[in-house]
Amino acid sequence: MIEAIGLTKRYGDKTVVNNLSFTVRPGSVTGFLGPNGAGKSTTMRMIVGLDRPTAGGVTVNGARYAQHRAPLGEVGALLDARAVHTGRSARAHLLAQATTHGIGRRRVEEVIAMTGLDSVAGKRAGKFSLGMGQRLGIAAALLGDPQTLILDEPVNGLDPEGVLWVRTLLRGLAAEGRTVFLSSHLMSEMALTADHLIVIGRGRLVADAPMSEILTRAQASTVRVRTPMGAELAAALRGRPGIELTHVDGTAYEVTGSTAEEIAEAAAAARVVVHELTPVQTSLEEAYMRLTADDVEYRTTTPERTSDRTPARTTGAHS
């Protein structure tokens, strides 16, 4: 269980995490989704006490992280991939972490085997690929067999087999009643792994809902309609709640909030000629981008927009 209340982090006048409150419950995988720079990593670092909140607070399993006497037994965390001395072997790194909590060598070998690091455990971590580094981070997180797992972009750099393994592992851990909190900037990955989703953008909460609800909302379909009688179709659909008709160009229109069948019946009843009626599914990524559209930190500028702009003049720049 992770409970954040009014969590805020400011660096100078830049607010990275803004009054964030949420609860991550045991027994399910909770996804933490947001564009790059949204404040996901900072939030996770505050949960485990690496960063100090400017305001608000967060508890894990009922206490602040630093108040736990055996934190590795409570929380396993994989933060940004590199949290390992490059000159130390994977095995020595895990042994040092284990020793702090009196965890035996047997468990060290166990997590090495679980994460498939057997053949490279004696190698220095500095020589590891991104994927191997991720596996070492996951091994370290699992050392204390913790009740709560916090993973920042765990599948980053893993091959498809590794991605599948992480997904299965996390689902299994949640099924055992553990709290699993993982971040990603990929909606598609979340859709496959998470039961619940917390979405943030620019440090603020955008959505906090079950995955199924977000999927339904996301996949609210659009129907593409081509008709020479746009005005008449609009009249026929007018008055029905939630339906919206947008003119695209020429004879093409887009209807949201309705099914193709509904539109066909309404058109037939009003004797409107329809040339095309195509349901268009909004992709998850599109829905997610729409959800966080106002909250992306680094937006790519479209060429049209740039050309619209009057070139900036450098008057008085050197005076």
Partner 1 sequence: MSIFAPVAPTTGRVTVHPASFRRLVAAEWVKLRSLRSTWWTLAVGMLFLPAFAVSRVASIAQVPEAVGSDTLVGAVYVTSGVALTQLAFCTLGVLVVSGEYGTGQIRSTFLASPGRLSVLAAKLVVTTVTVAVASLVGVVLAWVVAAPFFDQTGMSIDLTRAEDTRILLGVPLYLATATALAFAIGAIVRSSAAGVATVLGVLLVVENGLAAIPWGPVQTLAAHLPASAGSRLLQSDAVGSVITVSSTTTFTPWQGYGIMVAWVVGVLVVAGVLLRRRDA
Interface pick for partner 1 out of 32, 65, 128, 253 (rule CB under 8 A): 65
Strand stretches in 176-249, DSSP E:
179-184, 196-201, 204-210, 222-226, 244-249
In order, the DSSP letters of 64-119 are -GGG-SSHHHHEEEE-SS--S-TTSBHHHHHHHHHHHTT--HHHHHHHHHHTT-GG
200 binds partner 1 (CB under 8 A): no
Interface pick for partner 1 out of 31, 35, 154, 162 (rule CB under 8 A): 162
**Hey, what are 276's tokens?**
């095309």
Give the footprint of partner 1 on residues 73-132 (CB under 8 A).
73, 77, 79-80, 82-89, 92-93, 95-97, 99-104, 107, 110, 113-116, 126
Nearer to partner 1, 50 or 289 (CB): 50
167 binds partner 1 (CB under 8 A): no
- Packed helices 90-100 and 130-142: angle between N→C axes, nearest 10 degrees: 20
Interface pick for partner 1 out of 31, 35, 39, 71 (rule CB under 8 A): 71
56 binds partner 1 (CB under 8 A): no
Of 72, 84, 149, 150, the C-alpha closest to 117 is 84
142 binds partner 1 (CB under 8 A): yes
**Hey, what are 158's tokens?**
């893993």
Q: Which residues contact 185 (CB under 8 A, 6 or more apart)?
A: 33, 34, 35, 36, 38, 40, 153
**Hey, what are 169's tokens?**
């592992």
Site string for partner 1, 214-243 (x = CB under 8 A): ------------------------------
Interacting residues toward partner 1 by CB under 8 A: 45, 48-52, 65-66, 68-73, 77, 79-80, 82-89, 92-93, 95-97, 99-104, 107, 110, 113-116, 126, 140, 142-145, 161-162, 165, 169, 172-173, 176
